[in-house]
């Protein structure tokens, strides 16, 4: 079956004029779904205009929110307020307390560890075990592999190899995203998947990480956000009146 490719992390502000160029380019190089993180919930007109442009380019635009909580309470407040307003919720884990809590919470879709510092990447065995129990995915941004050189890239690859090892061991879904903010760094999805060879992912795993895994998150959440959704597998088909 033909794969449908998805990049959930293009780092352009949705309000930026650049976003249309990114959408057009993504469509040209073979993506079917893309997402750019919103910092605040978009207005209806803003969302309609982006979705319409994306649809005309043959792309499905996904709404996503990235949040970097300071502590557990901050994370809970954010999830209570915004979970039902976005299709994908990503938590940027900058400290251990937040990353553990985010991995335990079913409302979180994706964990992202933005730091290049080895000591600030908290995806270890314990984190992977928590993420497995809730089905939270771990996101890997590939931009540093394109822009870094020498020892920093070596250290980054070493961190990624360790993290993907844990994710594979505990069956935690891996999502490969570009994380790019410049058009010149855009690559075809299969090319991005080929970079996963550098940190030890097999070809099929890498292709799943740019297609099956992210699209599964989006379709699961769209189903949940549907007003007719009751529980997994149960939907309201028709409403009647009590006689």
Q: Which residues bind another protein (CB under 8 A)?
A: 29, 145-147, 149-150, 184-188, 190-192, 194-195, 197-198, 203
Q: How far apart, in Å, are the Cα atoms of 53 and each of 24, 32, 58, 109, 172?
A: 9, 13, 9, 26, 34
Find the shortest distance in angstroms from Cβ 28 to another protein.
10
Between 78 and 192, CB nearer to another protein: 192
Find the shortest distance in angstroms from Cβ 197 to another protein.
4
List, in sequence order, every residue forming a beta bridge with 6; answer none if it has no partner.
33
Residue 165 token pair? 């090892």
Between 3 and 104, CB nearer to another protein: 3
71 vs 140: CA distance, rounded Å: 22
**CB-count burial class (<10 Å; 0-12, 13-18, 19+) for 198:** middle
Find the shortest distance in angstroms from Cβ 161 to another protein.
14
Backbone dihedral angles phi then psi of residue 211, each to the nearest 5 degrees? -135, -80
Residue 159 token pair? 């961190």
Between 48 and 147, CB nearer to another protein: 147
Find the shortest distance in angstroms from Cβ 195 to another protein.
5
Give the H or E element holding residue 26: helix 18-28
Between 3 and 190, CB nearer to another protein: 190
């Amino acid at each position: 079956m033909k794969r449908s490719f998805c990049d959930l992390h293009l780092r352009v502000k949705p309000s930026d004029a650049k976003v249309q160029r990114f959408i057009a380019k993504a469509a040209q190089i073979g993506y079917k779904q893309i997402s750019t993180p919103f910092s605040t919930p978009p207005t209806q007109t803003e969302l309609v205009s982006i979705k319409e442009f994306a649809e005309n380019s043959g792309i499905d635009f996904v709404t996503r929110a990235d949040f970097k909580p300071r502590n557990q309470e901050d994370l809970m407040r954010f999830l209570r307020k915004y979970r039902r307003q976005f299709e994908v919720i990503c938590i940027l884990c900058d400290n251990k307390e937040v990353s553990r809590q985010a991995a335990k919470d079913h409302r979180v879709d994706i964990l992202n560890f933005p730091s290049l510092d080895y000591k600030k990447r908290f995806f270890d065995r314990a984190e992977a075990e928590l993420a497995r129990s809730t089905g939270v995915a771990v996101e890997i941004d590939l931009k540093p592999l394109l822009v870094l050189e020498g020892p920093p890239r070596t250290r980054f690859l070493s961190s990624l190899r360790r993290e993907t090892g844990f994710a594979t061991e505990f069956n935690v879904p891996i999502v490969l995203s570009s994380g790019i903010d410049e058009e010149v760094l855009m690559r075809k999805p299969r090319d991005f998947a080929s970079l996963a060879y550098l940190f030890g992912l097999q070809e099929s795993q890498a292709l799943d990480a740019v297609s099956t895994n992210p699209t599964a998150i989006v379709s699961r959440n769209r189903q949940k956000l549907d007003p007719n959704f009751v529980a997994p597998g149960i939907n309201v088909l028709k409403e009647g009146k009590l006689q």
